[in-house]
Chains A and B, each alone.
Chain A
């Protein structure tokens, strides 16, 4: 009962899924992220772009507390998911990561069958009460990962036997199996060929119907193709954040312009 008003408030401002205020990240004495304020919209693809070392991956990893695993890493400021502070001591990072899933640069399927790769998350979070339910989750997730038709006849073969592009879609299917609300992707296509990249991009476009997707990419064209919002990071600062069309036709900040047009400056 106590929770009700809060939940209602979250429902009324539907648009913002995650929010960061004065976010600072340090690795020891090195400051990697400086005072980042950003609102991640729900059911939207948001792209983080910027040169290597600009902090975009570091910031992405803050959104599901992946940085907790790095002992010298310190995060300050507030980051909220549906208005609730994700760094609150009461929050269980494992539960958080079920809600905020992640897909990495290199496809990293578990050394298990295709089926078990998908079933792993739902099992540990107790999302299925019967074998039939688990089968349903596996099928639904593989369909969402646009992989079902290619693997439905060999669900019990090892996931590592798939091609690179299929493995990455398997990892995406695995990430969506726990019904996350936000999906973080750290350069999900950098190890894929153009066809597999196009398939993953098509998938990202479909995923945004149900999830909020945040993607870090080095390919500006990819950011332009898949995202609705783009954030440009430079030297740990969030330089510019706006509608993707605007960022790519008429960026406000000269640093953004230099970067996206491939200039030295």
Chain B
């Protein structure tokens, strides 16, 4: 592959390596944030949740740094072909990582509220499983990125369907809890937002994986996933 050859201007190579190292660092922080947010929710650990919220600042700062660096590369090096795709992918990936970080922070915020209420049986275990799936997808997407592995990135894209299914199952579960006892409504609303946000994290990881495919092949994969489950959009389910 072309990228294995070095640029005649070696400083260009260093710039590109640097910005990619920042992406990997940001990705690592985001992975930790997802896991720590889910752990703190399950363990009802306010202190850990607070840490997740604090750490989000570092993620935001990295995004800014990456944006500045990418703008500088575009201005000074006028990248083309694989280099251009690399810089474009860096911008998009950092934006997606930042959003995932925000969702993790939101989960931690809701943990602070949920610990004040009676726990909903089984919910946090399922949410943790979902968060774990998303974190593993992100890990693979970042591995695919650094290894330029489009096949692995495609695998990540396909795995988002499992996360969607977990969300749909949780949606039904929360609905049942709320119908059983109105006192469950407040915690279940928070839990539902967490589930929805985790599902959105999966979408952002998918977007990262799509950028990997674009970087390697020059083409964005077709968006051809049909919604298999209509739970969240089917009004009849709420009637009873």
| Minimal beta-carbon separation of A255 from chain B (angstroms) | 9
B82 near A264 with CB under 8 A, answer no
Q: How far is the CA of A27 from the CA of B5 in the complex (A)?
A: 33
B81 near A261 with CB under 8 A, answer yes
| Minimal beta-carbon separation of A257 from chain B (angstroms) | 4
Q: How far is the CA of A254 from the CA of B5 in the complex (A)?
A: 10
Interface residue tally for chain A (C-beta within 8 Å): 17
Tell me which of A224, A248, A249, A263 contacts B2 (CB under 8 A): A263
Tell me which of A248, A249, A265 contacts B5 (CB under 8 A): A265
Interface residue tally for chain B (C-beta within 8 Å): 19
A261 near B219 with CB under 8 A, answer no
B80 near A260 with CB under 8 A, answer yes
Instruction: Verify if B228 is at the interface (C-beta below 8 Å from A).
Output: no
Instruction: Verify if A220 is at the interface (C-beta below 8 Å from B).
Output: yes
B83 near A261 with CB under 8 A, answer yes
Using Cβ atoms and an 8 Å threshold, which residues of chain A touch B84? 248-249
A to B contact number (C-beta, < 8 Å) = 49
Instruction: Verify if A221 is at the interface (C-beta below 8 Å from B).
Output: yes
A261 near B1 with CB under 8 A, answer no
Using Cβ atoms and an 8 Å threshold, which residues of chain A touch B78? 221
Instruction: Verify if A251 is at the interface (C-beta below 8 Å from B).
Output: yes
Q: Contacts A261-B7, A264-B6, A265-B5 known; list 8 others, CB within 8 Å.
A: A250-B81, A250-B219, A254-B2, A258-B5, A262-B12, A263-B5, A263-B8, A264-B7
Using Cβ atoms and an 8 Å threshold, which residues of chain B touch A258? 2, 5
**Of A220, A251, A254, A257, most B-chain CB atoms within 10 Å:** A257
Tell me which of B4, B80, B218 contacts A261 (CB under 8 A): B80
A251 near B8 with CB under 8 A, answer no
Q: How far is the CA of A248 from the CA of B88 in the complex (A)?
A: 14
Tell me which of A221, A250, A254, A262 contacts B8 (CB under 8 A): A262
Using Cβ atoms and an 8 Å threshold, which residues of chain A touch B79? 261
Using Cβ atoms and an 8 Å threshold, which residues of chain B touch A257? 2, 81-82
Instruction: Verify if B9 is at the interface (C-beta below 8 Å from A).
Output: yes
| Minimal beta-carbon separation of B184 from chain A (angstroms) | 53
| Minimal beta-carbon separation of B6 from chain A (angstroms) | 6
Instruction: Verify if B139 is at the interface (C-beta below 8 Å from A).
Output: no
The 26 listed contacts between A and B (C-beta, < 8 Å) are: A249-B80, A249-B81, A249-B84, A249-B85, A249-B218, A250-B81, A250-B218, A254-B2, A256-B81, A257-B2, A257-B81, A257-B82, A258-B2, A258-B5, A260-B81, A261-B79, A261-B81, A261-B83, A262-B7, A262-B8, A262-B9, A263-B2, A263-B7, A264-B6, A264-B8, A265-B2
| Minimal beta-carbon separation of A40 from chain B (angstroms) | 23
Using Cβ atoms and an 8 Å threshold, which residues of chain A touch B83? 261
Contact with A along B35-53 (1 / 0, CB 8 A): 0000000000000000000
**Of A224, A249, A250, A263, most B-chain CB atoms within 10 Å:** A263
| Minimal beta-carbon separation of A230 from chain B (angstroms) | 11
Contact residues, A240-257 vs B (CB, 8 A):
248-251, 254, 256-257
Contact residues, B81-98 vs A (CB, 8 A):
81-85
Using Cβ atoms and an 8 Å threshold, which residues of chain A touch B7? 261-264
Using Cβ atoms and an 8 Å threshold, which residues of chain A touch B85? 249-250
| Minimal beta-carbon separation of B68 from chain A (angstroms) | 22
Knowing A261-B7, A262-B7, A263-B8 are in contact, say whether A248-B1 is a contact too (CB < 8 A). no
Tell me which of B6, B8, B9, B81 contacts A248 (CB under 8 A): B81
